[in-house]
């Protein structure tokens, strides 16, 4: 079964396993027993035992099933937390470049935690709940220690009147794919509908059995879908209800990574780290326009001067790009070097690479290249196994997204 996994997926998981290796036993999500029952190959990932792939499915089959039908992902390893108090917006204004004061209630937005040099501590989805000073955050499992240290330090440093705490009694599931709505909606209490519930919205719904779940129309695949925060005690039953529909299959980490790569999404530790700014990562859209001209220093976010200089004066040395191979060859590896069009000068480095199941297994990837080499259509080379293979810089997402928007 493991032979059906691409080399890139194996490398990603090996890195995750080594980075989370410790003497402590691996944690288990509330769906662990269900994964085993479904024949999953379980692997270490960010300190958890997580499903890589399931029996009777190859990586490519899992990927394509999600693009065409619906896939169910266990993302309970990610940290759910709450930020509550009258100083919540001021605190978020300090640690992120996004205007969460202007975010409507019941909506979510991607952002990043910024260190004082403008580097990215972690990427996060932040949702405003029913009150303007009540937020929910979802962050990466592999950054729990760093995030906790950072958030507590920033709260102490600036004395914001708010409280941050993790939520440990809920599971997180993601139902992704074009048929997700038709699968989830019949499980809701009579009279509740998802028709006028759009991408980026978050709302409490009741299942037909009376269980209340927190649903956001979002995901990490580029497809329409939902992320659902469920009471831990109800998680396995809810997942089983979804899987009772033959249109749904359980999907593991291997396909999750290739789906996000096609969608042009960043993976922390690959495309993002504490040395990279949002501008270099080409996440300018998370820097709200209302946060770009702040004369008062106490209103500015961490790394404001560096980030705004990069944004306004285009002063940066590297930018994140997507690329496709223009000829056949082995997939680029994380750390593979990118060379100029003459094949002589190194101009960048690959951060993620894989065959693209949605594009007939053409090799694709993301990386960082020197300014000037980042324009779409630029022809460069990537070095794999000491050989050069031609690539073309392409617009991201590499595969078009299919979000359900107004």
- Residues making up the annotated binding site are 227
> Which residue is listed with tokens 């990043």?
112
Evaluate whether 46 touches 18 at the Cβ level (below 8 Å): no
259-to-35, 116, 134, 288 alpha-carbon distances in Å: 20, 32, 32, 27
- Known binding positions for substrate: 227
Per-residue tokens: 178: 């074009």
SS3 label, residue 45:
strand
CA-based max dimension of the chain: 65
In this structure, the number of other CB atoms found within 10 A of the CB of residue 117 comes to 12
| Dihedral sign for Cα atoms in the order 266, 269, 270, 273 | positive
Question: Do 376 and 309 contact (CB within 8 A), yes or no?
Answer: no
Pull the structure tokens for residue 122. 């972690």
- Pairwise CA distance, residues 184 & 181, whole Å: 5
Helix, strand, or coil (residue 222): coil
Residue 197: asked if its preceding bond is cis (omega within 30°), the reply is: no
């Amino acid at each position: 079964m493991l032979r059906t996994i691409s080399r890139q997926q194996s490398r990603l998981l090996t890195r995750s396993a080594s980075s989370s290796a410790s003497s402590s036993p691996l944690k288990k999500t509330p769906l662990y027993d269900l994964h085993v029952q479904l024949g999953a190959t379980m692997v270490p990932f960010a300190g958890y035992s997580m499903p890589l792939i399931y029996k009777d499915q190859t990586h490519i089959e899992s990927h394509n099933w999600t693009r065409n039908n619906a896939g169910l992902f266990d993302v309970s390893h990610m940290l759910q937390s709450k930020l509550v108090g009258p100083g919540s917006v001021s605190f978020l204004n300090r640690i992120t470049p996004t205007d969460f004061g202007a975010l409507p209630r019941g909506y979510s937005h991607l952002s990043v935690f910024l260190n004082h040099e403008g580097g990215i501590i972690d990427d996060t989805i932040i949702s405003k709940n029913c009150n303007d000073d009540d937020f929910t955050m979802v962050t990466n499992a592999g950054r729990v220690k760093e995030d906790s240290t950072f958030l507590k330090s920033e709260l102490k440093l600036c004395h914001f009147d708010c409280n941050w705490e993790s939520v440990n009694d809920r599971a997180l599931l993601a139902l992704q794919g074009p048929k997700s709505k038709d699968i989830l909606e019949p499980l809701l209490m009579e009279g509740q509908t998802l028709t006028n519930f759009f991408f980026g919205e978050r709302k409490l719904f009741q299942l037909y059995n009376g269980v209340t779940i927190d649903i956001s129309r979002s995901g990490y695949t580029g497809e329409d879908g939902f992320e659902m925060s469920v009471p831990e005690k109800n998680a396995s039953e809810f997942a089983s209800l979804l899987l009772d529909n033959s249109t749904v299959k359980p999907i593991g980490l291997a396909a999750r990574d290739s789906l996000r790569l096609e969608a042009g999404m960043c993976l922390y530790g690959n495309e993002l780290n504490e040395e990279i700014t949002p501008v270099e990562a080409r996440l300018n859209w998370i820097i709200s326009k209302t946060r770009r001209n702040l004369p008062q220093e106490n209103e500015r976010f961490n790394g404001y001067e560096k980030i705004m200089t990069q944004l306004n004066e285009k002063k940066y040395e590297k930018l994140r790009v997507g690329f496709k191979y223009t000829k056949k060859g082995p997939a680029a590896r994380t750390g593979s070097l990118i060379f100029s069009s003459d094949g002589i000068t190194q101009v960048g480095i690959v951060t993620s690479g894989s065959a693209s199941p949605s594009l007939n297994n053409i090799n694709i990837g993301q990386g960082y290249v020197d300014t000037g080499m980042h324009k779409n259509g630029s022809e460069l080379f990537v070095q794999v196994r000491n050989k050069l293979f031609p690539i073309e810089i392409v617009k991201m997402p590499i595969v078009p997204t299919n979000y359900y928007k107004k």
